[in-house]
Amino acid sequence: MENKLFATLDPVTRRARFPSGAPFLLTDTVGFINKLPHGLVAAFRATLEELADADVLVHVVDITHRNAAEQARVVDETIREMGLPSKPVVVALNKADLLAPGLHREAELADLAQSLKGKVGDPGQPTVLISADKRWGLGALLQMLDDTFQASRGGAIPVQPRPAPIML
């Protein structure tokens, strides 16, 4: 994972398991950019097509970015414009280690996430604070995804669970 624009140009998919044991497919896609130059729009079509197949969308937000709220709004708007507003979305506020450098315990993430909920993204969406770099909050993110996926399926895990596509 790189911290630069266009670091992910092609969707990348990996197999993983929820805490419940159900398998899922996790696809990392190109991020959304507001007012994308017309010549680059075609490069994002694969990402947009991947979203339609997802059971749950993970909206990863760089919480330290000065325009984080605006960027989150653009993603939410794009999802609505694509006709996907019924897709469950989990918001992962990334870079907690930079947002609160004095934070030393993962347990403190939940309190900080609660204070940020609604300031970035839809306040009704499940939100978790993470640090991909420090690997903080990833267990909580996986559990939130598992819970969200199970709720979207009526709470039952199929006998032969199929991998659930999850989008980043």
Beta strands 12-17 and 23-28 are: antiparallel
Averaged confidence pLDDT in the chain = 75
Yes or no: say if 20 and 150 are a contact pair by the CB < 8 Å rule.
Answer: yes
Q: Which CATH superfamily is domain 12-167 in?
A: P-loop containing nucleotide triphosphate hydrolases (3.40.50.300)
- pLDDT tens-digit readout, 19-32: 888 888 888 876 66
DSSP 3-state assignment of 145?
helix
**pLDDT of amino acid 22:** 87
Confidence label for 163 from pLDDT (cuts 50, 70 and 90):
very low
Yes or no: say if 7 and 1 are a contact pair by the CB < 8 Å rule.
Answer: yes
How far from 100 is each of 14, 21, 63, CA to CA, in Å? Answer: 30, 32, 11
- pLDDT tens-digit readout, 103-132: 666 666 667 766 776 677 677 788 888 888
- Does residue 47 carry a pLDDT above 70? no
Beta strands 23-28 and 164-167 are: parallel
Question: What residue spans define the domains of the chain?
Answer: 12-167
